[in-house]
Amino acid sequence: MDIKPRKQNMGKGLRGHLFISILVGAIFKISSAMALVTTTQGPIEGLNGRYDTEAFLGVPYAAPPIGDLRWRAPKAPASFNGIFHAKKVSHICPQLGNMFANVEPEDFGQVVGNEDCLYLNLWRPKEPSKKLRPVVFWIHGGSNTKGTALDPSYDGAFMAKHDDVVFVSANYRLGVFGAFVHPALETGNKADDSGNYVTLDLIAVLKWIRYNAESFGGDPHNVTIAGQSAGCMNVWGLLQSPLAEHLFHKAICSAGLPNAYPSKIVEMRSNDLLKELLVADGTVKSKDEAQDFIDAQSNAAMGRYLRSKSPAEILAIKRFIIPTQHVQDGYVIPWAGLAGVSVGNYNRVPMILGNTDDEGTYLVGSQFLRISDRELYELINTPNADFTRRDIIKADYVSKFDTLTRAGSESINGMAFTIAKYLSVYQDKVYRYNFQWRNTPQPWQDIFGAIHGMDAMFYLGNFVTGQKTYARFAWTPENRTDRQRLRSQMTRYFKGFFHETDPNVYRTEEDPEWKSNSGIMIFK
98 and 120 fall within a common domain: yes
Instruction: Report if residue 239 sits inside a domain.
Output: yes
- Per DSSP, the residues of 464-518 read --SS--TTGGG--GGGHHHHHHHHHHHHHHHHHHHHHS-TTTT--TTSPP--SSS
Rg (CA), the chain: 23
> Among 364, 443, 369, 440, which residue's Cα sits nearest to residue 405?
364
125 and 164 fall within a common domain: yes
**H helices of 163-217, where?**
190-193, 197-212
Q: How many helices (H) and strands (E) does the chain have?
A: 16, 17
The beta strand positions in 280-395, using DSSP E, are 327-328, 351-356
299 and 362 fall within a common domain: no
257 and 367 fall within a common domain: no
Sequential pLDDT tens for the chain (524 residues) = 333 333 333 333 333 333 333 333 333 333 335 779 999 999 999 999 999 999 999 999 999 999 999 999 999 999 999 999 999 988 999 999 999 999 999 999 999 999 999 999 999 999 999 999 999 999 999 999 999 998 999 999 999 999 999 999 999 999 999 999 999 999 999 999 999 999 999 999 999 999 999 999 999 999 999 999 999 999 999 999 999 999 999 999 999 889 999 999 999 999 999 999 999 999 999 999 999 999 999 999 999 999 999 999 999 986 655 578 899 999 999 987 888 899 999 999 999 999 999 999 988 888 888 999 999 999 999 988 899 988 999 888 888 888 899 999 999 889 888 999 999 999 999 999 999 999 999 999 999 999 999 999 999 999 999 999 999 999 999 999 999 999 999 999 999 999 999 999 999 999 999 999 988 999 99
Domain boundary pick from 343, 374, 394:
343
Instruction: Report if residue 144 sits inside a domain.
Output: yes
Q: Which domain holds residue 7?
A: 1-33
Bridge partners (DSSP) of residue 97 are: 108
- Cβ atoms within 10 Å, residue 55: 20
Structurally, the chain folds into a number of domains equal to 3
Which secondary structure element, helix H or strand E, spans residue 39, and what is its range?
strand 36-39
470 and 325 fall within a common domain: no
In order of 185, 317, 430, the CA distances from 283 in angstroms are: 20, 15, 54
- Distance, in Å, from the CA atom of 488 to the CA atom of 485, rounded to the nearest integer, reads 5
**Cβ-based neighbours of 112, under 8 Å, separated by 6 or more:** 92, 94, 95, 96, 97, 101, 103
- Cβ atoms within 10 Å, residue 366: 14
- Distance, in Å, from the CA atom of 512 to the CA atom of 507, rounded to the nearest integer, reads 8
**Cβ-based neighbours of 142, under 8 Å, separated by 6 or more:** 95, 98, 100, 101, 148, 174, 229, 230, 231
The tally of CA atoms less than 13 A away on the side-chain side of residue 442 is: 3
336 and 478 fall within a common domain: no
21 and 63 fall within a common domain: no
Domain boundary pick from 308, 343, 378:
343
**Cβ-based neighbours of 418, under 8 Å, separated by 6 or more:** none
92 and 205 fall within a common domain: yes
Instruction: Report if residue 202 sits inside a domain.
Output: yes
What pTM did the predictor assign?
0.91
Instruction: Report if residue 210 sits inside a domain.
Output: yes
- Distance, in Å, from the CA atom of 377 to the CA atom of 358, rounded to the nearest integer, reads 19
SS3 371: coil
96-115: b (≥16 Cβ within 10 Å) or e: bbbbbbbbebeebeebbbeb
Phi-psi region of 104 (alpha: psi -120 to 50; beta: other; left: phi over 0): beta
Strand 53-60 with 47-49, pairing: antiparallel
22 and 111 fall within a common domain: no
What size, in residues, is the chain?
524
Amino acid (one-letter) located at 446? D
Cβ–Cβ under 8 Å, residues 442 and 383:
no
Cβ–Cβ under 8 Å, residues 455 and 483:
no
Domain boundary pick from 319, 343, 367:
343
What is the end-to-end Cα distance of the chain in Å, rounded?
46
SS3 78: coil
Cβ–Cβ under 8 Å, residues 130 and 437:
no
What CATH number is attached to the domain comprising 332?
3.40.50.1820
23 and 64 fall within a common domain: no
385 and 461 fall within a common domain: yes
Q: What is the pLDDT of residue 365?
A: 86
- Cβ atoms within 10 Å, residue 221: 13
Diameter over CA atoms, the chain: 74
159 and 273 fall within a common domain: yes
- Distance, in Å, from the CA atom of 183 to the CA atom of 97, rounded to the nearest integer, reads 31
